[in-house]
A = this chain, B = another copy of it.
């Protein structure tokens, strides 16, 4: 079969972002309001077209920076200051997922510490952090009682897949530290797990587990009382990326 440009149909390729953070004890995702058709006025995941000279990861980093100002870094790259974790999630290519044309979207998952108010991207009316349950309940009601329209396109599915990825990945990796500021306490890390999993964890067993796993946490020497109560040691994320044995998610 010789090379024949007419032998394959043209596609548009986009990246969509599932940006997760933990705010006020709940897992939140970044949503933008669509300013154009289709799904005008509906909430959607941030994203955009991949440019002609761009790698997929570069496109995702660019979109993340545009929407949040975050400087993402590859997990294989050395850790950075303001860096969020960014990884490819999955690719969605149903022929009917975009009514305008054939669009294949390479979804990425970003995990970020709690951020100030998001800034709106170019083609979006506004942006906000919303609890994932709120974004995923189709046709339900938000915290303020307003009816909530489901996310545009297949973004509810993408978000659900991203949340599931994050939930399972913090079990066997040190990724939960990506939700924390550079220095954090064991209790703050525990609240991350509790928010992502939606469960309560025993503070004593959690403390034993994370401080007993070599390379997970390194003490900085400082302490803080920003959570109230007795002063807590401050830690930074250690070099270990894989937790073995893993952190066990409680049953149901």
Chain A residues packing against B (C-beta within 8 Å): 1-3, 5, 7-14, 35-37, 49-56, 88, 90-95, 100-102, 104, 106, 122-123
Contact = CB atoms under 8 A, between A and B. Distances in A.
A122 B93 CA distance: 24
A36 B1 contact: yes
A95 B10 contact: no
A12 B8 contact: yes
Contacts of A9: 49-52
Most chain B CB neighbours (cut-off 10 Å) among A1, A91, A95, A100 = A91
A35 B3 CA distance: 12
8 contacts: A3-B36, A3-B100, A7-B49, A8-B49, A11-B104, A50-B104, A56-B91, A104-B104
Contacts of A88: 90-91
Chief secondary structure at chain A's binding surface: loop
B13 A104 contact: yes
A8 B102 CA distance: 12
A94 to B, nearest CB: 5
Contacts of A14: 8
A122 B55 contact: no
Contacts of A12: 8, 10-11
A94 B106 CA distance: 13
A36 B93 contact: no
Contacts of A100: 3
Contacts of A7: 49
Contacts of A54: 95
Contacts of A123: 1
Nearest to A50: B93
Report the 6 A-B pairs with minimum CB-CB distance, sorted nearest first: A10-B10, A9-B52, A56-B93, A8-B49, A91-B91, A11-B13
A140 B234 CA distance: 49
A31 B163 CA distance: 35
A2 B10 CA distance: 20
A100 B5 CA distance: 10
